[in-house]
Amino acid sequence: MSDGDLLARIFLTRVIEPGDEAGGRWLREHGTAEVVRRLSEDGTATLPGVSQTRWAGLRARARQADPERDLAIAREAGARFVVPGTVEWPAQLDDLGDARPLGLWVRGRPSLRMWALRAVAVVGARACTEYGAHMAATLAAGLAEHGWVVVSGGAYGIDGAAHRGALGAGGATVAVLACGVDRPYPRGHTELINRIAEQGLVVGELPPGEHPTPSRFVLRNRVIAALTRGTVVVEAALRSGSLVTARAAQRLGRFTMGIPGPATSGLSTGVHELLRGEAVLVTDAAEVVELVGDMGELAPARRGPVLPRDLLEPAARRVLAALPGNRPASPEEVARGALTSEDEVIARLYELRALGYVERHGDGWKLTRQAMISVRDGRSRC
């Protein structure tokens, strides 16, 4: 891409808001240079899809734009501008169609395209619980240890916990901001975001110095969803920006996952609603990787503890189960309960005695204390 094309797109980041599909359609149908010309020169025809009032507002913004200054400020802050069609551009962002970013400002040394190939979004509530923060940090650390990049929004709560979890594990993380990458937001996360820029990547659509607004936060979430293979929501109320990210991921055909919480927690109601739909329940990094990773990256099978009696032969387990728990029983009675012959029962009882499960009482047989504990521990508890 030529310097002129690069500056033209930087110019447009000052004029067109993130996610503006009308602006994206203009670029697709008329080209960058023509859109810039119409916005800059007096007497040019209005581009379709906006009112005269809106067009006047865009023209007013265009008069204030100075792409060379923005590029100089960005470079001073250690940022670069990555645009569609270049080597570092993540092709999955093209799935956004006309809502695709005009370009992305990037702070940090790694290649955004390469990191986005194995990236998972971890998002959730700002006012999260201790449980949510613990789950987000643990999940992010696990993903980092599996070689995955953790992407989030740099906000308080779940976002911050996810970034810290990945950094603490020595892994890779990306913060996608709703403001200029030279102006960390929230201010309380300035140190964290600067650390992410040193060890990972800080990304944003808006030019240097731009501040966040509620609509920009919402539109930022589509970039998080498109940039990653899947989105995990850790905690979210029914009205939550992280649900916007999850639904964007679903529309884009990405995996959507949720960490369950207490049924009584208002901060888990949004996650549970996702799980009632198309989202997949996950509890750790291995389960996330099994879903978003390559063939063969399977989570370990979940099993309860192996009890000593589980190692018995099936015939011996049936005899053990047929013995009453509170009194001795004759071999004939045990044979009826085990649906086998008396001779088979006697042989199995001697085997079980050698293993410490039963003892003889006169002509009958009774469970030992060891066997009673084993049977009791193996039963489900309320």
- CB-CB neighbours of 76 under 10 Å: 10
Instruction: DSSP letter for 256, please.
Output: E
* Structure confidence at residue 377 (pLDDT): 55
Q: What is the phi-psi region of residue 157: left when phi exceeds 0, alpha when psi lies from -120 to 50, beta otherwise?
A: left
pLDDT value of position 358: 86
Give the CA radius of gyration of the chain: 31
Q: CB within 8 A of 263, min separation 6: which ones?
A: 272
pLDDT of res. 298: 63
Q: Do you find a cis peptide bond into 186, omega within 30 degrees of 0?
A: yes
Token match 């643990």: residue?
138
- How far is it, in rounded angstroms, from Cα 98 to Cα 270? 29
- Residue 311's pLDDT is 78
Percent of the chain past pLDDT 70, that is, above it, reads: 93
Rounded-to-integer distance, Cα 148 and Cα 169, Å: 11
Query: Among 222, 228, 173, 231, which Cα is nearest to 202's?
Result: 173
Q: Are 184 and 193 in contact (CB under 8 A)?
A: yes
pLDDT tens per residue across span 323-343: 888 889 998 998 998 899 989
3-class DSSP state of 32: helix
Q: Using H for helix, E for strand and C for coil, what is the string for 53-94?
A: HHHHHHHHHHHHCCHHHHHHHHHHCCEEEECCCCCCCCHHHH
pLDDT at 355: 86
Residue 95: per-residue pLDDT: 97
The residue ranges of the chain whose pLDDT is under 70 are 1, 295-302, 304-307, 373-382
Q: Which residue has the tokens 């599996």?
A: 146
The pLDDT of residue 345: 87
DSSP code string of 211-224: PP-HHHHHHHHHHH
